[in-house]
Amino acid sequence: MVDCQIHPHGVNDPSLLRAFLTTPRDVFCPPAFMGCAYGDQPIPLKAGRFMTPPWILAKMIDSVAITDKDAAKRVLCVGLNGGYFPLILLHFFNRVTVLERDDACLFLGEKQLESQLRDKSVVFLKATPLYDLGDFENAFDFIFVDGTVSQLPLSWSRALSPQGRMVCFERMFSDKSLFSQMILISRTEDTFVRVALSEMSQSMLMDADDVFQF
């Protein structure tokens, strides 16, 4: 997985490669897809969700340039999607907060993560709808959005702290295509800078109707 998928996509950070080498992905997969656990395709979960291919997760983490000094930073992962991504993030941070709206996803993810956490911690937040982060302004130093949205919810940007960074995916076309663009958003005080990164196919995290209601 690391040699054939992650490294060829330009991810070379040794600590990042080691995180994927040492984190089991198969324990988060539905039994019917266990044989695909380390492949480069999205894996179907409950409620129309998918596990994101590992190389995409690796590029997300690589894009925010984490350092050893960031371990105590406040981190939000939007979309539980099985629980694999939060476990990867815990290689770099002491604590990860997960935002989820679906009860089935929460139940499955909590159950799977429970046996893997060791000395790290995950905090689960339920938000219905998922874009609603009204009480968390300036609350997170890093935000990772595991899935594509039609338009970035304003509350997610407001939840980013000064000097914070967020990586997300925005759909590139108005049709039902899954073709999206990875976006890095950096905040400096009240200024938000957007940088378009890679274009790729990434599953949707929420419906367009949800996004436009904030």
User: Which tokens sit at 204?
Assistant: 């949707």
Percent of the chain surpassing pLDDT 70 = 92
What whole-number distance in Å separates Cα of residue 144 and Cα of residue 166? 6
Segments forming the whole domain that contains residue 38? 2-211
Q: Quote the number of domains for the chain.
A: 1
- HEC states along the chain? CHHHHHHHHCCCCHHHHHHHHHCCCHHHCCHHHHHHCCCCCCEECHHHCEECCHHHHHHHHHHCCCCHHHCCCCEEEECCCCCHHHHHHCCCCCEEEEEECCHHHHHHHHHHHHCCCCCCEEEEEECCCCCCCCCCCCCEEEEEEEEEECCCCHHHHHCEEEEEEEEEEEECCCCCCCEEEEEEEEEECCEEEEEEEEEEECCECCCHHHHCCC
Mean pLDDT of the chain: 85
CATH number of the domain enclosing 29: 3.40.50.150
Instruction: Give burial (CB, 10 Å; 0-12/13-18/19+) of 72.
Output: exposed
Q: How far is CA 35 from the centre of its chain?
A: 23
Percent of the chain surpassing pLDDT 90 = 40
pLDDT higher for 118 or 39?
39
Q: What is the mean pLDDT of residues 86-100?
A: 93
Q: Which of 4-8, 17-21, 42-46, 63-67 has the lowest mean pLDDT?
A: 42-46
pLDDT at residue 175, as a whole number: 60
Q: Which of 54, 102, 58 is nearest to 80 (CA)?
A: 102
pLDDT higher for 20 or 28?
20
Asked whether the predicted pLDDT for residue 9 surpasses 80, the reply is yes
pLDDT digits (tens, 9 = 90+) for 34-90: 888 888 888 888 767 788 999 999 999 999 999 999 999 999 999 888 889 999 999
Place of tokens 């998928």: 5
pLDDT at residue 176, as a whole number: 60
